[in-house]
Amino acid sequence: MRPALSAKDVDPDLVRLDLQARIGLAGLDRARGALALADRAYRATLAQARRRLPSRDPLIASLLNNLGVLRKAQGRYTEALVFYRQALPLVARGDREARATLEHNLGGIEHARRRYAQAEPHARRSVALREAMRGAHHPAVAADVAALAAIVEARGRFGEAAALYARAISTFKRRLGAGSLELGLGLASLAALEQQRRRPARARPLYARALAILQRHLGQDHVDVAMTVNNLAVLERDAGRAAVARALFRRAAGSFRRTLGAAHPHTRLARENLSAVG
């Protein structure tokens, strides 16, 4: 005999609230670095959403997008791109917010795959869409601008990238405060750019400010903290401070291993950097 349906199985509003709660909990796992837990939760929720909702429901697009973000964090870039591309046709034509988010993420995954020419149009569309909705000085627009800056930097246009980072940092500081996580991430990106421009005297204090903020918000082992530590280690290595660089590379490699696993590209990179300094 088939079990009776609960209220949340038959009431569309309760179905949606239940799924949204599950997405929120999975997002918390992802944010704290528990990627395996988040993976299981997102996939289980996607299976339920496909069973309980219409096939083109926006919540399914949201889940596919979240799985793309998770796959990127796991270093599984090709899978991430597949999820984003599955989500894109499910986004309603008039939903500019969701479209902007997907364009941002598509730019980010192409950036991660080092396909910078393909990444830039996505990033520019995300800025244009979000700015049209929220205005030039909204923090969400600043996040899109910072993502565009990273792509422009990767294409070697350092002056343009610096101006974009400065715009984003100014918005984060003014709208979110001098201790905000977003500001810390922006400072870390600008530090890496100054490092690229061979300006260690500018990069080092930016890294120090960024790490103080990021560690306070994210803890010692978070991926963004570990990447900033790794980049600072490269700076110290290039400055001839091998002992300092070695300690920083060791710390970054340990954080990546604990958070992402031994096979992740970030972990391998930090190990290779550590081996190179002896």
Distance from C-alpha of 263 to C-alpha of 220, rounded to nearest angstrom:
20
Residue 196, domain member (yes or no)? yes
> CA nearest 192: which of 184, 182, 203?
203
Look at the chain and report how many structural domains it folds into.
2
Both tokens of residue 181? 């996580």
In sequence order, the 6+-apart residues with CB closer than 8 A to the CB of 48 are 19, 22
Same domain, 252 and 195: yes
Q: Find the DSSP H helices in 90-198.
A: 96-112, 116-134, 139-154, 158-176, 181-196
Whether the full predicted model's pTM is greater than 0.85, yes or no, is no
Same domain, 114 and 207: no
Domain interval for residue 104: 66-74+81-90+97-155
Residue 48, domain member (yes or no)? no
Same domain, 186 and 237: yes
Residue 36, domain member (yes or no)? no
Give me the CATH number covering residue 261: 1.25.40.10
Residue 40, domain member (yes or no)? no
Same domain, 136 and 203: no
Same domain, 119 and 191: no
Provide the 8-state DSSP code for 5: P
Residue 256 has φ and ψ, to the nearest 5°, of -60, -45
Same domain, 145 and 182: no
Contact 83, 65 (CB under 8 A): yes
Residue 15, domain member (yes or no)? no
Same domain, 235 and 199: yes
Residue 177 — left, alpha, or beta (φ > 0 → left; ψ -120 to 50 → alpha)? left
Same domain, 220 and 269: yes
Same domain, 181 and 278: yes
> CA nearest 143: which of 110, 98, 189?
189
Distance from C-alpha of 136 to C-alpha of 174, rounded to nearest angstrom:
13
> CA nearest 63: which of 26, 89, 32?
26
pLDDT at residue number 256: 94
pLDDT at residue number 1: 42
pLDDT at residue number 10: 61
Low-confidence ranges of the chain (pLDDT < 70): 1-10
Residue 56, domain member (yes or no)? no
Same domain, 184 and 254: yes
Same domain, 223 and 130: no
Same domain, 139 and 109: yes
Residue 228, domain member (yes or no)? yes
Distance from C-alpha of 164 to C-alpha of 176, rounded to nearest angstrom:
18
Distance from C-alpha of 249 to C-alpha of 89, rounded to nearest angstrom:
42
Residue 146, domain member (yes or no)? yes
Give the length of the chain. Answer: 278
